[in-house]
Amino acid sequence: MWTPVIVVAIAAVSYGFYIFMLPAQLPAAFIYGNGHVEGTEISISAEVTGLVLKSNLVEGQEIDKGELLVELDDANQRATLAQAKAETAAIEFEQTRVNAELNTWRDMLATAKRDLVRYEKLRDQGTVAEQRLDQASTVKREALGQVRAHEAQLKSTAARIEAAQSKAEYLRIQLDKTRINTPLTATILAKGIEQGERAQPGRLVAVLVDMNDLDLKIYIPESHIGKIKLNDPARVRVNAFPDRYFEARVKRVDQKAQFTPRDINMPEERTRTVFGVVLTLINPEGYLKPGMPADSWIKWDGDTSWPDRLVVPQ
């Protein structure tokens, strides 16, 4: 027979079990969001043609800025550059010759001018024939014509030298492009070419990502977006490290609302309009990787301390 005491005890136990089974609630000072870790991917492509002679591409390996990714066969570029240098040297030799001839003709022109002036004075004195004066005038005209022709030739040669030097500089740049180096310290996310394969301009060599510059984009209901400010602290958890929280901060808040993306789960099922919020992740050990699904919590109330355990709202 049930006594009042037993009934009360059973009710208390049942209520306690009900309370225990209720989903844990997230404190009001925190806003939850989920998404996937993202990184800025940098695609490195070949700019010249050549066989891959050496490759340092290992997916998942970190490589320092300026280190060699791949080296292409540069025999063709070196031969072409040597030919351009030889052409430049030949034009420069021609320039030296033309310049020497120009100086000679200038001297001859100066002499011819002096002779013509002298013969004109002698003609006025009647001591020289008109024919000799004509010869002096002819010598002057010829010397003047040669000076002008050599000056024009010198300008043309200078232009050819400039063009040849520009061509050689271009070929030097092409030669440098046979060594493809990483533009920043990053991790090789994917390799696009193997040693022994032939690279062509535009051929993908590698995809890099900076593991120290990862983001997490989450979506916050419109009703909560007014609480979030830039640089608000946040914490992130991924399935690969369920007992660890990674520090983060609010990097950007979208200024325009949008409908909830299909691949994003919102705790509030009726939420349709959301704002994108980007968190910058602190990842010094490189544990976080692009593509990882992640839960995050933003602490918008600065007077509240972080709890020992953060829950995902149900």
Model pLDDT, residue 22: 38
- pLDDT digit string, tens, across residues 76-109: 999 999 999 999 999 999 999 999 999 999 999 9
Backbone angles phi, psi at 179, to 5 degrees: -110, 110
- 213/39 Cα distance (integer angstroms): 7
Rounded to two decimals, the pTM is 0.69
Of all residues in the chain, the percent with pLDDT exceeding 90 is 70
Instruction: Give mean pLDDT, residues 46-57.
Output: 96
Which of the two residues, 122 and 202, has the higher pLDDT score? 202
Confidence band (pLDDT; 50, 70, 90) for 15?
very low
Determine the pLDDT at residue 268.
58
Domain 45-73+178-204, second-level architecture:
Beta Barrel (2.40)
Q: Which of 220, 222, 228 is nearest to 276 (CA)?
A: 220
Taking 50 as the threshold, does the pLDDT of residue 210 lie above it?
yes
pLDDT at 298: 96
pLDDT at 47: 96
Domain boundaries, the chain: 25-39+211-299, 45-73+178-204, 75-176
Residues 72, 193 contacting (CB under 8 angstroms): no
- Report the alpha-carbon distance of residue 61 to residue 94 in Å, rounded: 54
Residue 11 has pLDDT above 80, yes or no: no
In the predicted model, is pLDDT for residue 237 greater than 90? yes
Over range 304-314, report the average pLDDT: 89
Question: What's the mean per-residue pLDDT of the chain?
Answer: 88
Angstrom distance (rounded) from CA 202 to CA 184: 20
Q: In CATH, what number does 25-39+211-299 get?
A: 2.40.30.170
